[in-house]
Structure 1
Amino acid sequence: MSTTQNELFASRHLGLTDADRAEMLRVIGIDSLEELIRRTVPSSILMEQPLDLPAAVPETDVLAALAGNFEGVVKRRSFIGQGYYPTVTPPVVKRNVLENPAWYTAYTPYQPEISQGRLEALLNFQTMITELTGLPLANASLLDEATAVAEAITMAHRTSRTKKNAVLVDGNSHPQTIAVVRTRMEPLGIELDIDGPDAFDKDRHFAVVVSHPASDGLVRDHAGLRALVDTVHSAGSIAIAATDLLALTLLHSPGSLGFDIAVGSSQRFGIPLGFGGPHAAFMACREEHARSLPGRLVGVSTDTEGRPALRLTLQTREQHIRREKATSNICTSQVLLANMAGMYGVWHGPDGLRRIAQRVHGCARRFATAVSASGGNVAHGAFFDTVCVVVDDASATVAAAREAGYNIRRVSETAVSVSFDETTTEVDVDCLAGALGCSHPGEDADMGLCEDFIRRDDYMSQSVFHSHRSEHAMLRYLRRLADKDLALDRTMIPLGSCTMKLNSTTEMEPVTWDEFTSVHPYAPDDETIGMRRTIEQLEAMLVEITGYDAVSLQPNAGSQGEFAGLLAIRGYHRSRGDQDRIVCLIPESAHGTNAASAVMAGMSVVVVKCDPNGNVDIDDL
């Protein structure tokens, strides 16, 4: 019988020939795969019935069906903002990093000997972050901005020399940030106050989080921020800035304002929207906080011959070593996206980034001028890319913009905001202003960023940010880095991990489809039908495969899935009145994130011994 297209995909994807399979079975003394399964899996848990899943189809049909999910989906231009912005992925980065298996199949760089390329790319990212934030130390990325804020708060709690147990979070932060922080603080018993930064209480708050710029676009007076930070420090507390990298190419850096920690997202540095992810977050801090910093940290060292070399450093902070005593459960944390964001900085350099930021700010000023000239009420005189407008009926204003082909954000019943980005044109600005009933813009009004707000220091002066201006120079640089690494484009990597997923080219191809890359996470339902159909199909298949009743695809890392699951278990016990069931048994052979996640979920970890083969020691249990 001839080989079907489905069988052909499996054999090509897995790479096993019939001869390979027969040889492996012969070596272990088994006649067939069926016999192997029956001798390995206890009969009491062996599934006898086939899974109720759709019939397998050829790769071309899979791609056609996936594209079909997006037929008839409405498309509008997004000006919603709220931490997510349309951006331009430089083609040289898209083709040579995002779509290149030499970059997307490499393993976590625990072994520096086969990871020098990616380590250099991550060092570029870290350097870019320290330069823009004005702080001396940055990690090699975190999972997303909301969890980065939560990580900064717990880091501040660890390093604070006070006994205070409450944190003040700026009420003008992104709503998703506030929601995640609520979820993360409650199990740890940390009290959370949501209010303006001026509500800082020196006797109550061990830290304050200030959004700079704020969620609705407000850029606070720098003298006022410095005074606030001085007050925070005089109380022995820690000042955290949740910030925007593109804004920092123009604004005074958090470090220069006195902040101890700065966090945010690098999404608008060339990373597609992707319906909300994945995107690399960042965290920068002062040297004294180094040993409490979560996530990977790339350092410069020397090899055995005394030559400069790169490696992951200060790993004793991390979950794979410290386990339940780790600073965080963060593991691999969006390295591919951090590499892309870093390369966006390499490609544009400081001058290019500044030009992009000035153009974005110019679009915001043009829009604000139109609103103001038409008698509208611009909420804040100082802003970078986001203009908040006071209106009579926010829902009606959002609907009018939507009718014109634009999505804007409803901030409250009487306020909307419009966020501009590097893809915005003057035509977009004028059409959007017209949709809101505003006249054509005239001369710039006295709003936006005045001279006092603009940073004057040099940044990103390192040669790597000035050396690769032509496309061929850039792609050669990317190739030189890739040639220093070991990835699946060269050979099998003999390490097992949650990150080691073998994805076929067909599975990777849709990653850069516009249907996936251009969807804002807070777009209206009629624009997200295709994404939601795809998600629902996957959820249904996973429910059938796992035997559970429901599946969540919300966690964007295995460590976060553990945390979510542990919170669900904790919530179940609490719903039954079992408040004291807080002990989590974890085998000593388990992944380090397990123990770290349990502590984050407010549980006490008790380690169960294992036998030499890694199995749970039943007697110890």
Structure 2
Amino acid sequence: MFTFTDRHIGPRDKDIKEMLGVLKLNSLEELAEQTVPENILLKNNLPLDKPATESSYLSKLKAIASKNKPFRSLIGMGQYGTEVLAAVTRNIFENPSWYTSYTPYQAEISQGRLEGLLVYQTMISSLTGFPLSNSSMLDGAQAAAEAMRLLLEVRSRDAVKAGKNVFFVDNNIFPQIISVLKTRARGLGIELEFGDFKSYKFNEKCYGALVQYPAANGEVRDYSNFCEFAKNSGALVAAYCDILSLATLKEPAAWGAVCAVGSTQRFGLPMGFGGPTSGYMATLDTYKRQLPGRIIGISVDRLGNKALRMALQTREQHIKRERATSNICTAQALNAVMSGMYAVYHGPEGLKSIAQRVSKYAHIVAKELENAGYKLATKDFFDTIEIIDVDADEIKKKSLAAGFNFFYPKERLKDAKNDTVRISFDELTDCEEAQKVAAIFGISNISQCSNCNEDSVSKFMARETPILTNKVFNSYHSETELMRYIKKLERKDISLTHSMIPLGSCTMKLNAAVEMLPLSWPELANAHPYAPKDQIQGSLQIAKELEKDLAIITGFDACSLQPNSGAAGEYAALKTIRRYFDAKGQSNRDVILIPTSAHGTNPASAAMAGLKIVLINCDDEGNVIVDDLKQKTEENKENLFGLMITYPSTHGIFEYEIKKMMEIIHSAGGLVFMDGANMNGQVGLTSPGEIGADICHLNLHKSFAMPHGGGGPGAGPICCTKELAPYLPGHPLCEETGGKGMEAVSASPFGNALLNSITHAYIKLLGAEGLKKVTSVAILNANYMSEKFAPQYNTLYRGKKGRVGHECIIDCRHFKSEYGIDATDIAKRLMDFGFHAPTLSFPVHETLMVEPTESESIEEMNRFIEAMQVIKKECEMIKNGEYQKEDNPIVNAPHPQEEVCASEWKHSYSRETAAFPLDWVKENKFWPACSRVDNGLGDRNLIPTLED
């Protein structure tokens, strides 16, 4: 009988034996001994639960999920009931062709999700009134923090000289947003001031402000005078906006804001115990170089056809490193596409109708409450009403008895009075629900509920401009048409459903169906993160069990699931260390050592945390130069914060002096953060704790089976020693996170909490032995491919005993001078074989980093190897003059169907060579959607929205 481990791992036992033979080895254990330093190898298996079968695990998880009670939550606070469209759920959310693709760096095989993200940007621009939007942020709170930073970055030279560093935050903003702002402000040298926007006086030090629209208590406010005052004093205003309200309320660009941020959770995304959602950020074109995150733009391809690509990448961390606009890497691409399709399906009239209906029921109930003698905090609101001078305890008792959750400020907010109740209506509210809510307040009947029209809704700050005018939002309003549109986009993209995606440092492994199934369970999908504790026991149990298992796997004592990406995890870990040193009276420690080979998010995260970066050099073999580390540690001993290091290294090897590095840092009083991007080479064989690190982050969307979603969502939890545990992230609305040492790093207490069940399943189904075998086979596959590449391609770095870790780097640096071909050309040619390229020019320029993961079969690896061999042969044919240097199948790659099937063929090589370079390509041909995209043109002429 096959186990889950057998299903997850690609090579069969006979294949493993064959590959070991190629490497002249007898066992996986022997390979581990030749790859991992002996002094860090674990002597025992991890103390985890025995592996479950798929059916028994699902039964057990169903029982846990059933502990969540199905109350109707009208709590709001950034999380709302929404119609998660079945057509979008089935065709995107549950579709591996969408959720197993990678960030669209290779544009020619990513045109589908690039269009989906451009739809999202166009939607955001239309609703906010700003010409420029990025393609998603991690959540609304982090988007607000990025807006605070953007306004800091765009200060005038005079403002910088004058030391303008005060940022005003209105009091009537969701507390989780304020908490994340507090976390971010210190590292950026920003002073926060809080108060009432109505009475705030801008001073000479204030550079910007944040308001919420509508405000946290539901009030719709006119901020136009406030924005004018800000402008006259040299400050700029950002607005956190409810995206649904903008269908009917005046857009923020129209009343003076220069940046809008928020969340699109209300557009067809489940609450999911707090995430994942999709943050948004829109601003003026003037600030395009300062806008964080990915921007999708329109360019043209080699044939002159319009084509999409990720624009202005030089702003981002993978290029600009510590000088990047942000550390953001993984974002929320899949959720952004889903929200975009929500707008496509409903169209402008449908969205306005939903917004008007939500507001209508809020106004109906509010009017009945006032008629019954209750007092409301405000007369102008969209969906949220705040009742004051009421017995909140009595209302809570009645609401729970009726199956409803409202928001009670006294329970969650400091200094709040016990006489206030807040109710946020949403898309799911209907006449019957409005009657039930009113009944809790003693109102027996709402006479005008069913026939009340939009005239009952306040016209204050009503929108005067049209929304969603583009054709895409006015074309696909039947399910048949939407299904076909989504399928049209899907067919343009390579995902794991087509072939292996051998991206080094990205770990594109199997996302098993059994791990993904529970995401659609209503017990988990409908859980509100701020519901009473007894109603969310299922979600809490999954989170706590996962925290425990991740701590065991990493060799640490504690875990926080709050960071919702790898970069967010890096940042959260550094802030945890910062709080630890502050508590010890060592706030002077601010120097961080980072190897030159580090992923770009490392220096970007360190810069965000306010640290001074000192680079450590690497030798020709890819190892950190220990003497350089020692010297720079000694030079910065008094102020040493610590070391950021990836293990196995970004060069794909296990460095043998890793323990010595830990000792050097610790001897100077510093701490070690281990970047867990390459944990797929560690799990079960060694651990950050065993090695001697103090804290690490994990990419659950790499090593622990969460899908990449075309650029998110992911998760970046952090694990640490017991000494650092008290300083993990907290949350103002949830004590269950366990962290009390600092403010929040994400909007949600448990980050992208709905996804927790994926990694929970992965660990419980594999168990200790399975996890160890996964790591061992991942290392085997990488070494096998490296060995098979050897006749044509040199592996740039190897460990002390000649082995690579879980990935290998192919050296193409001499190709340009020898063949006139570069690594990008090879990446594009691979598309003609149906493959996504390996990681391009990282960590060394003009190289390809290959990571097959444990999930790929020997047959698939052999196909990729054969493709690479053919490309090398084509290079030799160019060198020998058999192909022209300016016209050959590599420099012209990829070859789309339109070109291959055209009546005229203009190349000196055959159509078959272009499209079917090997016989097996014919069996399952993937056609690139366009020819090679012009990157320069797309940057010089940024077009970030769909053209009519």
Please tell me whether residue 330 in structure 1 is matched to residue 338 in structure 2: no
Structure 1 gaps of 5+ residues are none
State the partner residue of 1:426.
431
Match among 482, 490, 499 for residue 498 of structure 2: 490
State the partner residue of 1:393.
391
State the partner residue of 2:927.
none
Match among 525, 544, 552 for residue 517 of structure 1: 525
Query: Secondary structure at the residue paired with 1:451?
Result: coil
State the partner residue of 2:218.
217
Query: Secondary structure at the residue paired with 2:626?
Result: coil
Please tell me whether residue 127 in structure 1 is matched to residue 127 in structure 2: no
* Structure 1 Cα separation of the partners of residues 474 and 179 of structure 2: 40
Does the CA contact (< 8 Å) of 1:79 and 1:409 recur in 2? yes
* Structure 1 Cα separation of the partners of residues 142 and 328 of structure 2: 10
State the partner residue of 1:203.
204
Query: Secondary structure at the residue paired with 2:297?
Result: strand
- Output one character per residue of 1:378-405: Cα deviation in whole Å (capped at 9) or x when no partner: 1110000111111333233223212211
Once the two structures are TM-superposed, the CA of residue 70 in structure 1 deviates from its matched residue by: 2.8
Once the two structures are TM-superposed, the CA of residue 103 in structure 1 deviates from its matched residue by: 0.5
State the partner residue of 1:231.
229
Please tell me whether residue 144 in structure 1 is matched to residue 142 in structure 2: no
Match among 250, 271, 278 for residue 269 of structure 2: 271
Match among 362, 365, 368 for residue 367 of structure 1: 365
Give the stretch that moved more between structures: 67-76 or 506-515. Answer: 67-76
State the partner residue of 2:869.
none
Q: How does 1:18-29 map to 2 (within 5 A)?
A: 18-29=13-24
Query: Secondary structure at the residue paired with 1:215?
Result: coil
- Output one character per residue of 1:396-443: Cα deviation in whole Å (capped at 9) or x when no partner: 322321221100001332211100111112111111111122343345
Query: Secondary structure at the residue paired with 1:387?
Result: strand
Q: Which amino acid aligns with 2:426?
A: D
State the partner residue of 1:320.
318
Once the two structures are TM-superposed, the CA of residue 51 in structure 1 deviates from its matched residue by: 1.3
**Change in 2 beyond 3 A, CA 1:244/1:72:** closer
Does the CA contact (< 8 Å) of 1:373 and 1:439 recur in 2? no
Once the two structures are TM-superposed, the CA of residue 319 in structure 1 deviates from its matched residue by: 0.5
Does the CA contact (< 8 Å) of 1:382 and 1:448 recur in 2? no
Q: How does 1:556-595 map to 2 (within 5 A)?
A: 556-595=564-603
- Output one character per residue of 1:26-80: Cα deviation in whole Å (capped at 9) or x when no partner: 2222111011112212221111112111111111111111111133442210100
Please tell me whether residue 256 in structure 1 is matched to residue 257 in structure 2: no
Query: Secondary structure at the residue paired with 1:118?
Result: helix
State the partner residue of 2:474.
466
State the partner residue of 2:194.
194
Does the CA contact (< 8 Å) of 2:360 and 2:453 recur in 1? no
Please tell me whether residue 106 in structure 1 is matched to residue 80 in structure 2: no
State the partner residue of 2:661.
none
How high is the TM-score relative to the length of structure 2? 0.63
**Change in 2 beyond 3 A, CA 1:262/1:136:** same
State the partner residue of 1:441.
446
Q: How does 1:156-171 map to 2 (within 5 A)?
A: 156-161=151-156, 162=159, 163-171=163-171
Match among 274, 278, 296 for residue 294 of structure 2: 296
Query: Secondary structure at the residue paired with 1:210?
Result: strand
Does the CA contact (< 8 Å) of 2:502 and 2:508 recur in 1? no
Please tell me whether residue 183 in structure 1 is matched to residue 183 in structure 2: yes
Does the CA contact (< 8 Å) of 2:137 and 2:331 recur in 1? yes
* Structure 2 Cα separation of the partners of residues 191 and 41 of structure 1: 47
Once the two structures are TM-superposed, the CA of residue 446 in structure 1 deviates from its matched residue by: 12
* Structure 2 Cα separation of the partners of residues 256 and 559 of structure 1: 34
State the partner residue of 1:13.
8
Match among 551, 557, 560 for residue 543 of structure 1: 551
Query: Secondary structure at the residue paired with 1:606?
Result: strand
Give the stretch that moved more between structures: 243-252 or 16-25. Answer: 16-25
Once the two structures are TM-superposed, the CA of residue 612 in structure 1 deviates from its matched residue by: 4.1
* Structure 1 Cα separation of the partners of residues 567 and 376 of structure 2: 42
Q: Which amino acid aligns with 2:209?
A: V
Query: Secondary structure at the residue paired with 1:417?
Result: strand
Does the CA contact (< 8 Å) of 1:216 and 1:387 recur in 2? yes
Q: Which amino acid aligns with 2:21?
A: R
* Structure 1 Cα separation of the partners of residues 192 and 52 of structure 2: 51
Give the stretch that moved more between structures: 135-144 or 500-509. Answer: 500-509
Once the two structures are TM-superposed, the CA of residue 118 in structure 1 deviates from its matched residue by: 0.5
Query: Secondary structure at the residue paired with 2:168?
Result: strand
Aligned residues: 613
Once the two structures are TM-superposed, the CA of residue 322 in structure 1 deviates from its matched residue by: 0.6
* Structure 2 Cα separation of the partners of residues 581 and 464 of structure 1: 53
Query: Secondary structure at the residue paired with 2:39?
Result: coil
Give the stretch that moved more between structures: 39-48 or 58-67. Answer: 39-48
Query: Secondary structure at the residue paired with 1:275?
Result: helix
Query: Secondary structure at the residue paired with 1:120?
Result: helix
Query: Secondary structure at the residue paired with 2:497?
Result: coil
Once the two structures are TM-superposed, the CA of residue 124 in structure 1 deviates from its matched residue by: 0.2
State the partner residue of 1:62.
57
Deviation above 4 Å: which 4+ runs of structure 1? 442-449
**Change in 2 beyond 3 A, CA 1:151/1:94:** same
**Change in 2 beyond 3 A, CA 1:253/1:158:** same
**Change in 2 beyond 3 A, CA 1:446/1:274:** closer
Query: Secondary structure at the residue paired with 2:280?
Result: strand
* Structure 1 Cα separation of the partners of residues 552 and 291 of structure 2: 40
* Structure 2 Cα separation of the partners of residues 34 and 605 of structure 1: 39
Query: Secondary structure at the residue paired with 2:408?
Result: strand
Please tell me whether residue 47 in structure 1 is matched to residue 42 in structure 2: yes
User: Which entry has the higher C-alpha Rg, 1 or 2?
Assistant: 2
* Structure 1 Cα separation of the partners of residues 244 and 327 of structure 2: 28
Instruction: Give the share of equivalent positions with the same residue, in percent.
Output: 45
* Structure 1 Cα separation of the partners of residues 350 and 622 of structure 2: 53
* Structure 2 Cα separation of the partners of residues 423 and 98 of structure 1: 20
State the partner residue of 1:508.
516
- Output one character per residue of 1:561-604: Cα deviation in whole Å (capped at 9) or x when no partner: 11111011122222222222211111122111111111111111
* Structure 2 Cα separation of the partners of residues 40 and 233 of structure 1: 60
* Structure 1 Cα separation of the partners of residues 488 and 324 of structure 2: 35
Once the two structures are TM-superposed, the CA of residue 448 in structure 1 deviates from its matched residue by: 7.2
* Structure 2 Cα separation of the partners of residues 453 and 373 of structure 1: 25
- Output one character per residue of 1:325-383: Cα deviation in whole Å (capped at 9) or x when no partner: 11111112111100100111111111110010111011101110110110110111000
**Change in 2 beyond 3 A, CA 1:57/1:310:** same
Q: Which amino acid aligns with 1:495?
A: L
State the partner residue of 1:607.
615
* Structure 1 Cα separation of the partners of residues 586 and 262 of structure 2: 38
Does the CA contact (< 8 Å) of 2:317 and 2:325 recur in 1? yes
* Structure 2 Cα separation of the partners of residues 280 and 349 of structure 1: 19
**Change in 2 beyond 3 A, CA 1:525/1:448:** farther
Please tell me whether residue 76 in structure 1 is matched to residue 74 in structure 2: no
Does the CA contact (< 8 Å) of 1:88 and 1:422 recur in 2? yes
**Change in 2 beyond 3 A, CA 1:447/1:210:** farther
Please tell me whether residue 415 in structure 1 is matched to residue 415 in structure 2: no
Give the stretch that moved more between structures: 400-409 or 498-507. Answer: 498-507
State the partner residue of 1:282.
280
Does the CA contact (< 8 Å) of 1:382 and 1:449 recur in 2? no
- Output one character per residue of 1:126-159: Cα deviation in whole Å (capped at 9) or x when no partner: 0000000001100000001111111100110111
**Change in 2 beyond 3 A, CA 1:54/1:119:** same
Query: Secondary structure at the residue paired with 1:83?
Result: coil
